[in-house]
Amino acid sequence: EYNDTWYPSTDGDGQSLTINDAGSHPATWNDAESWRPAAPSPGLP
């Protein structure tokens, strides 16, 4: 189950989360290890 404390940089108004392997079994998407903070968008002010 998602927990917003997985990665402090994604908490609140921080970065988004992105899946490490979109081809992985969806059951693994509940694990923090399946996610990482997304790269900053080049369109940010």
Residue 17's beta-bridge partner residues? 37
Q: What pLDDT shows up at residue 44?
A: 55
At 16 the pLDDT is 87
Length of the chain: 45
Q: What are phi and psi of 16, to 5 degrees?
A: -85, 165
Note the pLDDT of residue 6: 85
37 beta partners: 17
Q: Which amino acid is at 44?
A: L
List the pLDDT tens digit at each of the 45 positions of the chain. 777 778 888 888 888 889 999 999 999 999 999 999 998 777 655
Identify the DSSP state of 37: E
pLDDT at 45: 55
